[in-house]
Amino acid sequence: MARITGTWLSGSPAEPGQGDTPGYPGELYGLPREGAGSLAPTWRRVVAMFLDWFIAVGIAAVVMGGTVKPSVQLLVWFTIGVGAVTLFGFTPGQYFMKLRVVRVDAAVAVGFVRALARQVLLVFVVPALFTDADGRGMHDQATGTALVNAR
């Protein structure tokens, strides 16, 4: 029985740095430990997402003339996310929180396809709640991106 469950129930290694566990978040991707380019902490990512949502609610209220429908809010939030990340590498909420979306596999812009895929996964929210050892959400893992500190 130990052979079957030992690989996933045994927990983390006894000594730090053993196995596939990184020394610090982002080390496996060549990101710095701290400062610009380091992986963003979870609390800043969550605040940025709420800011983006409130911006979308405001825009939806203006567009709909005061009557806000959830489907319009979601559409505005989705459009802001895809458009802003494609064009600038960050959403308005991420900008205010000093964050940026980057590719971990190359030093190029995120691009429309990755931004679209990332936002589609974020619509379900659940992928953002499940993170790896580095703290990257499933949506970032699936698209080869990471949310890092911009400055």
Give the number of other CB atoms < 10 A from CB of residue 14: 7
pLDDT classification of 7: cutoffs 50, 70, 90: very low
103 DSSP β-pair partners: 145
Q: Is the pLDDT of residue 124 over 90?
A: no
Q: H/E/C letters for each residue in 81-130?
A: HHHHHHHCCCCHHHHHCCEEEEECCCCCCCCHHHHHHHHHHHHCCHHHHC
Convert 21-48 to b/e letters by CB count within 10 Å (16 or more is b): ebeebbebbebeeeeebbbbeeebbebb
pTM summary value: 0.76
Question: What are the structure tokens assigned to 66, written together?
Answer: 């005061």
Q: Is the pLDDT of residue 56 over 90?
A: yes
pLDDT at position 151 = 80
Q: Is the pLDDT of residue 9 over 60?
A: no
Determine the average pLDDT of the residues in 64-71.
85
Residue 41's identity, in one-letter code, is: P
pLDDT at position 21 = 54
Question: What are the structure tokens assigned to 150, written together?
Answer: 């911009």
pLDDT classification of 8: cutoffs 50, 70, 90: very low
Q: Which one-letter DSSP state was computed for residue 29?
A: G
pLDDT at position 86 = 95
Q: Is the pLDDT of residue 6 over 60?
A: no
Is pLDDT larger for residue 116 or for residue 151?
A: 116
